[in-house]
Chains A and B, each alone.
Chain A
Amino acid sequence: MYETKYHKAASVQDAVAALSGASEGAVLAGGQTLLPTMKQHLASPSDLVDVRGIAGMQGVTVGDGTITIGAATRHADVAGNADVKAHIPGLAALAGGIGDPAVRSMGTIGGSVANNDPAADYPAAVLGLGATVVTDRREIAADDFFEGMFSTALDDGEIITAIRFPVPTRAAYAKFPNPASRYAMVGVFVAETGGNVRVAVTGAGEDGVFRHDGMESALASDFSVASAAGATTSQEGVLNDMHASAAYRAHLVNVMAERAVSKAG
Chain B
Amino acid sequence: MTDGIGARVARKEDKRFITGKGKYTDDIRMENQAYAAFVRSPHASAKVTGIDASAAEAMEGVIAVHTGPELKADGIGDIITGWAITSKDGNPMQCGVWNPMVTEFARYVGDAVAIVVAESQDLARRAAEKVSVSYDELPATVFADHALETDAHQVHENVPGNLIFNWEIGDEEKTDAAMSGAHHVTQIDITNNRLSPNAMEPRSAVAVYDEAEDHYTLYTTSQNPHVARLVLSAFYQVAPEHKLRVIAPDVGGGFGSKIYIYPEEIACLWASMKTGRSVKWTSDRSEAFMTDAHGRDHVTTAKMGFDADGKIVGFHVDTIANIGAYVSLFATATPTYLYGTLWSGTYDIPAIYGTVRAVHTNTVPVDAYRGAGRPEATYMIERMMETAAREMGMDPAELRRRNFVKEFPYQTQVLLQYDSGDYDALLDMAQDAANVSGFAARKAEAAGRGKLRGIGYSTFVEACGLAPSAAAGSLGAGVGLWESAEVRVNPVGTVEVLTGCHSHGQGHETTFAQLVADRFGLPIDSVSIVHGDTDKVQFGMGTYGSRSGPVGMSAVMKALDKVEIKAKQIAAHVLEASEVDIVIEGGEAKVAGTDKTMGWHEVGLAAYTAHNLPEGMEPGLKETSFFDPVNFSFPSGALICEVEVDPDTGVTEIVQFTAADDFGTIINPMIVEGQVHGGITQGIGQALHEGVVYDDSGQLLTGSYMDYQMPRAADVPSYTVSHGCTPSPNNPLGLKGCGEAGAIGAPPAVINAIIDAIGTDNLQMPATPQAVWTALQSAKMPMAAE
Contacts and interface: CB of A to CB of B under 8 A. Distances in A.
Contacts of A41: 125-126, 129
A245 B286 CA distance: 25
Interface string B267-287: 000000000000000000010
B770 A244 contact: yes
Interface in A155-191: 176, 179-181, 183
B705 A180 contact: yes
Contacts of A248: 650, 770, 773-774
Interface in A207-247: 242-245
B701 to A, nearest CB: 6
A6 interface: no
A181 B770 contact: no
A120 B530 CA distance: 50
A263 interface: no
A227 to B, nearest CB: 16
B705 to A, nearest CB: 6
Contacts of B768: 179, 243
17 contacts: A1-B122, A41-B125, A41-B129, A176-B769, A179-B709, A179-B768, A179-B769, A180-B706, A180-B707, A181-B707, A183-B706, A243-B707, A243-B770, A244-B770, A245-B774, A251-B773, A252-B649
B649 A176 contact: yes
Nearest to B774: A248
A243 B706 CA distance: 11
Contacts of A183: 706
Instruction: Please classify how large the interface on chain A is, using the bins under 10, 10 to 19, 20 to 34, 35 or more.
Output: 10 to 19
B126 A2 contact: yes
Contacts of B126: 2, 41
Contacts of A181: 705-707
A261 interface: no
A255 interface: yes
Given A179-B768, A180-B708, A242 B701 contact: yes
B9 interface: no
Interface of A: 1-2, 40-41, 176, 179-181, 183, 242-245, 248, 251-252, 255
A179 B689 contact: yes
Given A180-B702, A183-B706, 11 more contacts: A1-B122, A176-B649, A179-B768, A180-B689, A180-B705, A180-B708, A181-B705, A243-B768, A245-B774, A248-B773, A255-B648
B71 to A, nearest CB: 26
B693 interface: yes
A243 B689 CA distance: 11
A140 to B, nearest CB: 29
A2 B120 CA distance: 13
Interface in B740-786: 768-770, 773-774
B124 to A, nearest CB: 13
A242 B773 CA distance: 14
A86 B455 CA distance: 43
Contacts of B706: 180-181, 183
A225 to B, nearest CB: 12
A1 B649 CA distance: 40
Interface string B121-133: 0100110010000
Contacts of A179: 689, 709, 768-769
B33 to A, nearest CB: 20
A137 B446 CA distance: 55
A198 B693 CA distance: 37
Contacts of B708: 180
Nearest to A251: B773
Interface in B662-721: 689, 693, 701-702, 705-709
Nearest to A180: B709
Contacts of A255: 648-649
Contacts of B774: 245, 248
B676 to A, nearest CB: 25
Interface in B470-522: none
A245 B769 CA distance: 11
A130 B161 CA distance: 60
A18 B199 CA distance: 43
Contact of A245 (B129, B701, B707, B770): B770
A203 B705 CA distance: 17
Contacts of B769: 176, 179
A251 to B, nearest CB: 7
A40 B709 CA distance: 20
Contacts of B709: 179-180
Nearest to A249: B770
Nearest to A181: B706
Contacts of A245: 770, 774
A40 to B, nearest CB: 8
Nearest to B695: A242
A232 to B, nearest CB: 17
A176 B125 CA distance: 37
Contacts of A180: 689, 702, 705-709
B649 A242 contact: no
A242 B648 contact: no
A29 to B, nearest CB: 20
Nearest to B646: A255
A40 B706 CA distance: 14
A66 B350 CA distance: 77
A40 B770 CA distance: 30
A244 B774 CA distance: 10
A176 B649 CA distance: 9
Contacts of B689: 179-180
Contacts of B648: 255
A244 B772 CA distance: 12
Interface string B119-159: 00010011001000000000000000000000000000000
Nearest to B769: A179
B709 to A, nearest CB: 4
